């Protein structure tokens, strides 16, 4: 079935880096964009940006430039989110999400990874 499976929880110290993976299955990976969404503890959903799975071109939302990098390995149908110079305020659940019902680039997110909890603490 169509699914996104993310890597497990991470506990990191401030200043470290983390790389979260999101493996797609059940559909052609390069057919649909991949989005990343952040949810801080007790807070709402925040769209971080997206990556074109055909070209590898990323687009970042305001507030997610510089330390955040989206990348792909299409050979294994996997998207990655890397965060460098981690801060306590990066503590959150990070989701990958895709829209397999997209029409002409308009995509509601019908598939979601299970989320990866990243905790930044000394």
Partner 1 sequence: VIWMTQSPSLLSASTGDRVTISCRMSQGISSYLAWYQQKPGKAPELLIYAASTLQSGVPSRFSGSGSGTDFTLTISCLQSEDFATYYCQQYYSFPRTFGQGTKVEIK
Q: What is the spatial distance between Cα 108 and Cα 82, in angstroms, rounded to a whole number? A: 24
Answer yes or no whether residue 115 interacts with partner 1 by CB under 8 A: yes
Q: Applying CB under 8 A, which of residues 68, 95, 118, 120 lies at the interface with partner 1?
A: 95
Residues in region 17-76 near partner 1 by CB under 8 A: 35, 44-47, 49-50, 59, 61-62
Site of tokens 């895709």: 98
Answer yes or no whether residue 114 interacts with partner 1 by CB under 8 A: yes
Contact segment (CB under 8 A) with partner 1 among 7-15, 16-24, 73-81, 109-117 equals 109-117
Between residues 17 and 54, which has the closer beta carbon with respect to partner 1? 54
Between residues 69 and 102, which has the closer beta carbon with respect to partner 1? 102
Site of tokens 């909890």: 117
Shortest distance in whole angstroms from residue 61 CB to partner 1:
4
C-beta separation of 21 from 79 below 8 A: yes
Structure tokens at 42: 């007790």
The Cβ of residue 42 has, within 10 Å, a number of other Cβ atoms equal to 5
Q: Is 75 helix (H, G, I), strand (E, B) or coil?
A: helix
Return the bridge partners of 106, or none.
Answer: 103
Contact segment (CB under 8 A) with partner 1 among 9-17, 70-78, 79-87, 112-120 equals 112-120
């Amino acid at each position: 079935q169509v699914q996104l499976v993310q890597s497990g929880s991470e506990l990191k110290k401030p200043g470290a880096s983390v790389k979260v993976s999101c493996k797609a299955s059940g559909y052609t990976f390069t057919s649909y964009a991949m989005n990343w969404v952040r949810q801080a503890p007790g807070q709402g959903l925040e769209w971080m940006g997206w990556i074109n799975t055909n070209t590898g071109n990323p687009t970042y939302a305001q507030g997610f430039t510089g330390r955040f990098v989206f990348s792909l390995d299409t050979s294994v149908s996997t998207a990655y989110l890397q965060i460098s110079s981690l801060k306590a305020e990066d503590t959150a659940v990070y989701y990958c999400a895709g829209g397999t019902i997209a029409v002409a680039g308009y995509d509601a997110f019908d598939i979601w990874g299970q989320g990866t909890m990243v905790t930044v603490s000394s």
